[in-house]
Amino acid sequence: MENKKPVTLIKIGGNIIDNPTELSQFLSDFSKIEGCKILVHGGGKSATKMAESIGLVPQMIDGRRITDAAMLDVVVMIYAGQINKNIVAQLQANNTNAMGFSGADGNLIQSDKRNHPTINYGFVGDVKKVNTNFLETLLLNGIVPVFCAITHDGKGQLLNTNADTIASELAIALSEVFDVTLNYCFEKPGVLYDAEDDSSVISTINQELYSKLKSEKAIHSGMIPKLDNCFNSLSKGVQKIKIGHHRMLQDKTALYTTITL
């Protein structure tokens, strides 16, 4: 059987984006990763700050943003514009030939507008299809795609889309043609037994342990959708998944959590 070419896919959290020093260090470390790679980023607090500055009141339900038409304008401007292009410029400064994308560019990620039985999320998308052929062409030509958390529905409508889910769906789609390693990088050194104790990293977590920790409320809120995405990715062909601080990319002694089935 032919060996698949490796791809490293990294999603960075908002707390890295919000800290210029951390972001600069992360992008330096990311640039040193050899071979094909992809970066997915969320929006940090910038969209909320911008919304509040023009009199909008951001609405969240279970950690997910309600995106009406006015808020969509803000997140497109901040995610696909300011944050995405700043990251691409910094990667170019690190000799990494990056290109910034929303899901609409090159029809790379198409989504369906979320249809929830009781909550109107507004212009929020759930990923339906990834243009793997075009993505493969970019990667094999030495381009480093940088995705923001905006997709489209194929009918002209942009949609705000969870960045963790985008990373997961890209990894699943690419696993058909590449050996994919998915890394979720955020401000903590991994999944923790105790959210207040950074030394309490769970080195390996499988579905059985995950269910146990959820029932004990040791894992809750934003970590649940992240881990749900991880197990979904592993069940659909992604080879390796790690969660931790971005120092794990270059520091061999750094702690992190490995996700396994």
Strand, coil or helix: 209: helix
104-158, pLDDT tens digit by residue? 999 999 999 999 999 999 999 999 999 999 999 999 999 999 999 999 999 999 9
Mean pLDDT of 245-259: 93
The pLDDT value given to residue 235: 94
Q: What is the mean pLDDT of residues 223-239?
A: 91
The per-residue pLDDT for range 65-86, each reduced to its tens digit, is: 899 999 999 999 999 999 999 9
Give pLDDT, residue 2.
64
pLDDT value, residue 33: 96
Q: What is the pLDDT of residue 1?
A: 46
Q: What is the mean pLDDT of residues 25-45?
A: 95
Considering only CA atoms, give the Rg of the chain.
Answer: 18
Phi, psi of 89, deg, nearest 5 = -65, -40
The pLDDT of residue 64 is 75
Residue 244 half-sphere exposure, CB side, CA atoms within 13 Å? 24
Find out whether 122 is annotated in a ligand binding site.
no
* Three-class secondary structure assignment of 124-167: EEEEEEECHHHHHHHHHCCCEEEECCEEECCCCCEEECCHHHHH
Q: For residue 23, which of 73, 83, 109 has the smallest C-alpha distance?
A: 83
Q: What is the pLDDT of residues 162-200, one digit of tens each?
A: 999 999 999 999 999 999 999 999 889 999 988 889 999
Q: Is 160 annotated as a binding residue?
A: yes
Residue 61 amino acid letter? I
Domain residue limits at 75: 5-259
Residue 31 sits in a domain whose CATH number is 3.40.1160.10
**Half-sphere exposure (CA, 13 Å, Cβ side) for 226?**
24
Is 55 within any annotated ligand binding site?
A: no
Helices and strands in the chain, H and E counts: 9, 14
The length of the chain, given as a count of residues: 261
What is the number of domains present in the chain?
1
In the chain, pLDDT over 90 holds for what percent of residues? 84
Amino acid residing at 228 = D
Check whether 190 is labelled as a binding-site residue.
no
- Dist. CA 172–CA 237, nearest whole Å: 6
Long-range contacts from 96-100, C-beta under 8 angstroms, 24+ separation: 96/30, 96/31, 96/144, 97/142, 97/143, 97/144, 98/39, 98/143, 98/144, 98/145, 98/146, 99/138, 99/143, 99/144, 99/145, 99/146, 100/146, 100/148
- Quote the DSSP letter at residue 192: B
